[in-house]
Amino acid sequence: MSRFGAFLSLHSPDDQWDLVRRVETLGFDSVWCGDHVSFNLPLWESLTLLASYASITSRIRLGSAVYLLALRPAAVAAKVTATLDALSGGRLIFGVGVGGENPKEFEACGVPHRERGARVTEAIDVVRTLWRDTPATFKGRFTQFEGVSIDPKPVQKPGPPIWVGGRSDAALARAGRQGDGWVSYVVTPDRYRQSLDKIRAAAASVGRGLDGFVTAHLTFITVGRDYEGARSAWVARLSKRYAQDFGPLADKYGVIGTPEQCAARIAEFRAAGCAYFLLNAICDPPDEREQLELIAAEVLPRLRA
């Protein structure tokens, strides 16, 4: 059975909290945010934002898609996420990734851009070690410590699930070797299917089974009265977000159009092996609530039937 999360953009604090409460009542399984220290658009710090949701929601899971783990010391990330998991009653899904499209934020954080992949790979192991062990010891390239404890531990044992984001071969290998799940973005259903084969091969190469592994997709969706109107809104908003022209990408990568058209496109990803959709309503922020209401009322029932 497919699951559905809502990926929210930035709003004023009161509007942000009103929206996340509404997302919970609409029946979404989770709520998600992106992560950057510096970006083309204003963005709340992700784990602080998710922590603000913990006490105003009770059921919905809280996810990062994806946290740029290389930008922070791994032990600090372990501490913050352990706290967030505990304060939310064990609802954190820790999506992590490499990032890199904005080299200036690596410069600001004092992290060499070229080391980001190696840092994330090691940091995943550091975070899990600190979540699990008391005391913990680790000897790696970037992090070394002996007899260190981070307490309290996360509620989830041995820790929150770590979903690896990305679509490069390196990201797919990381997901297969280390991840509890994978989050793709801007791929076609065919590429999604091929990527899962690469993830399975990477897991097999280290003798790892993938029982319980979650296959997810960050889904850029715009629902409208017709395809062309939804398409123009999708292109305008994503082109502004990523400071590049998304026009040539719309027909290939978008989930765009009427509720029937959007549900049919999501079904193609489901057939390719995706089980969890992080639905990012691509629209101007004042219209986001209406989009999510429409998705919940008109798109999800078609997929749950």
Q: Give the pLDDT confidence score for residue 274 in this predicted structure.
A: 98
Beta bridge partners of 93: 63
Q: What is the CA radius of gyration of the chain?
A: 19
Q: Give the pLDDT confidence score for residue 305 in this predicted structure.
A: 79
Q: What is the mean pLDDT of the chain?
A: 97
Long-range CB contacts (within 8 A, 24+) of 234-241: 234/282, 237/282, 237/283, 237/284, 238/282, 240/40, 240/41, 241/40, 241/41
* Average pLDDT value for residue range 29-39: 97
3-state secondary structure of 8: coil
Q: Give the pLDDT confidence score for residue 250 in this predicted structure.
A: 97
Domain 3-304 has CATH 3.20.20.30: yes
Residue-wise pLDDT for 80-113, tens only, equals 999 999 999 999 999 999 998 899 999 999 999 9
Q: Give the pLDDT confidence score for residue 97 in this predicted structure.
A: 98
pLDDT band at 34, cuts 50/70/90? very high
Tokens of 53: 């949701």
Q: State residue 144 phi and psi, 5-degree precision.
A: -140, 130
* Average pLDDT value for residue range 22-51: 97
Q: Give the pLDDT confidence score for residue 68 in this predicted structure.
A: 98
Residue-wise pLDDT for 239-251, tens only, equals 998 889 999 999 9
- Among 260, 123, 249, 133, smallest CA distance to 191 is for 249
Query: pTM of whole model > 0.75?
Result: yes
* Average pLDDT value for residue range 225-235: 97
In angstroms, the CA 302 to CA 296 distance is 10
